[in-house]
């Protein structure tokens, strides 16, 4: 497009306008960028950590996690040597735990195959576990000055609006973002685009009046900015009800089990659970029987006495799953094993528990305190 808002050849800016657009956006970024702890840093490990944390999480939330993470795992060697449970514990609360598992696996590869030095090119970064096009582009451009794009959700939205595209295809996004990168400041260019999307070109009510690139924006010229990009078709949300066993021993410790590596919350710890069959939601006997079954399968010896308590349902929304946990508190016993631990409910738990499981633990501790 050119300054009048008309698309240029192949829907990309004309070169003379591109130079002006870059100057406008980078100048705005230099003046207004938020003061975030990873800004100005070019250490590839720290950039990598920040970029992984920032996926699906707001910068304000990430800040404190990022600081604590670097205290705990200051470099790639420390992370590679850490126990995965400690890594997941440090990640607890950020969600999408596969990001932490991949970061740990990537650190191990860097230590074992790259002598502890984060590889310095986009192509080599892409070889690391869990490092996709976005993370590789962000690390390569910010830490190593490689002129490659980094397209996250914010950049996708900005480009869709700049070029007035309702449904920008991944290939078009990659090629367009690559054509826009300022080779003299690639890392700052990518961050400037992301920052624009996070602070000005926001999903709702974009601040076009304060936007440094509004003169080039085709969507603004057409009045379509609120409709770009068009919402993608939503995946249906599955609903699942789970009988959850909180098996408590004489010391007030409860059993948590490590979940299989694949599937929901893979590799995380949780109270044993099992899906409740449809039609038995109101049947307490069926609920208790299912909870006992889950507890026994996880390695607990469960008392045949009636349950100590039935807790209020705990609901949690995952991306495509609405889960309702029906916790049943049962008396029982057992020993720690590779994939099971008996943990105190009324003290910080030494394994990473997802947010819904922590709610169940708190509710169980409260009820048991009253018994």
Residues of span 191-210 touching ligand SF4 by CB under 6 A = 200-201, 206-208
Going by C-beta distance under 8 Å and a sequence separation of 6 or more, which residues neighbour residue 239? 321, 322, 323, 324
Q: In the complex, what is the shortest distance from the CB of residue 56 to ligand SF4, in angstroms, rounded to a whole number? A: 22
| Comparison of 100 and 194: residue with beta carbon closer to ligand SF4 | 194
What is the DSSP-derived secondary structure letter of residue 57?
Answer: S
| Comparison of 201 and 361: residue with beta carbon closer to ligand SF4 | 201
Rounded to an integer, what distance in angstroms lies between the CA atom of residue 352 and that of residue 258?
10
Interaction of residue 20 with ligand SF4, rule CB under 6 A? no
258 DSSP β-pair partners? 269
Interaction of residue 219 with ligand SF4, rule CB under 6 A? yes
Q: In the complex, what is the shortest distance from the CB of residue 229 to ligand SF4, in angstroms, rounded to a whole number? A: 11
SS3 146: coil
Interaction of residue 190 with ligand SF4, rule CB under 6 A? no
Radius of gyration of the chain from Cα atoms?
25
Q: Find, among 333, 334, 336, 362, the residue nearest to 348 by Cα.
A: 362
SS3 341: strand
Interaction of residue 340 with ligand SF4, rule CB under 6 A? no
Rounded to an integer, what distance in angstroms lies between the CA atom of residue 64 and that of residue 268?
22
Going by C-beta distance under 8 Å and a sequence separation of 6 or more, which residues neighbour residue 284? 310
Interaction of residue 220 with ligand SF4, rule CB under 6 A? yes
| Comparison of 200 and 343: residue with beta carbon closer to ligand SF4 | 200
| Comparison of 119 and 206: residue with beta carbon closer to ligand SF4 | 206
Interaction of residue 225 with ligand SF4, rule CB under 6 A? yes
- CB atoms closer than 10 angstroms to residue 302: 20
| Comparison of 208 and 310: residue with beta carbon closer to ligand SF4 | 208
Pick the binder of ligand SF4 from 161, 165, 185, 341 (CB under 6 A). 161
Pick the binder of ligand SF4 from 214, 244, 270, 357 (CB under 6 A). 214
Is 188 one of the catalytic residues?
A: no
Rounded to an integer, what distance in angstroms lies between the CA atom of residue 324 and that of residue 192?
41
Query: Which residue is catalytic, options 51, 146, 188, 195?
Result: 51
- The site for ligand SF4, by CB under 6 A, has a size of 15
Interaction of residue 360 with ligand SF4, rule CB under 6 A? no
Contact region with ligand SF4 (CB under 6 A), list: 52-60, 61-69, 156-164, 238-246: 156-164
Rounded to an integer, what distance in angstroms lies between the CA atom of residue 155 and that of residue 153?
6
Q: Find, among 39, 59, 57, the residue nearest to 47 by Cα.
A: 39
Give the pair of three-digit tokens for residue 170: 């991944």
Interaction of residue 217 with ligand SF4, rule CB under 6 A? yes
Interaction of residue 1 with ligand SF4, rule CB under 6 A? no
Backbone angles phi, psi at 292, to 5 degrees: -60, -45
Interaction of residue 211 with ligand SF4, rule CB under 6 A? yes
Please say whether the beta carbons of 240 and 290 come within 8 A: no
| Comparison of 104 and 220: residue with beta carbon closer to ligand SF4 | 220
Site residues, ligand SF4 (CB under 6 A): 158, 161-162, 200-201, 206-208, 211, 213-214, 217, 219-220, 225
Which residues have a catalytic role annotated?
51
């Amino acid at each position: 497009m050119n300054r009048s808002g008309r698309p240029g050849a192949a829907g990309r800016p004309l070169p003379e306008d591109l130079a002006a657009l870059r100057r406008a956006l980078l100048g705005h970024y230099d003046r207004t960028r938020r003061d975030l702890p990873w800004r100005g840093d070019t250490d590839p490990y720290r950039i990598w950590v920040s970029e992984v944390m920032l996926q699906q999480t707001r910068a304000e939330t990430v800040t404190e996690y990022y600081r604590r993470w670097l205290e705990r795992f200051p470099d790639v060697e420390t992370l590679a040597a850490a126990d995965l449970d400690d890594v997941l514990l440090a990640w607890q609360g950020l969600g999408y735990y596969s990001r932490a598992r991949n970061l740990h696996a990537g650190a191990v590869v860097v230590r074992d195959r790259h002598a502890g030095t984060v590889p310095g090119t986009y192509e080599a970064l892409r070889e690391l576990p869990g490092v996709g096009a976005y993370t590789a582009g962000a690390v390569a451009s910010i830490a190593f000055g490689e002129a490659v794009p980094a397209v996250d959700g914010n950049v996708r939205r900005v480009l869709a609006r700049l070029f007035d595209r309702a449904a920008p295809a991944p290939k078009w996004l990659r090629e367009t973002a690559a054509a826009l990168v300022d080779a003299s400041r690639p890392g700052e260019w990518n961050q400037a685009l992301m920052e624009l999307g996070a602070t000005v070109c926001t999903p709702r009510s974009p601040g076009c009046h304060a936007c440094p690139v509004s003169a080039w924006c085709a969507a603004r010229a057409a009045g379509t900015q609120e409709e770009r990009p068009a919402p993608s078709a939503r995946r249906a949300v599955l609903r699942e009800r789970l009988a959850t066993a909180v098996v408590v021993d004489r010391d007030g410790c409860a059993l948590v089990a490590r979940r299989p590596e694949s599937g929901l919350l893979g590799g995380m710890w949780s109270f044993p659970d099992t899906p409740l069959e449809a039609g038995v939601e109101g049947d307490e006997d069926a609920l208790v029987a299912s909870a006992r079954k889950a507890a026994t399968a996880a390695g607990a010896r469960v008392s045949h006495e009636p349950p100590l308590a039935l807790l209020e349902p705990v609901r949690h929304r995952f991306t495509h799953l609405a889960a309702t946990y029906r916790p049943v508190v049962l008396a029982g016993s057992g020993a720690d094993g590779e994939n099971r631990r008996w943990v105190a409910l009324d003290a910080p738990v030494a394994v990473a528990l997802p947010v819904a499981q922590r709610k169940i633990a708190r509710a169980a501790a409260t009820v048991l305190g009253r018994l």
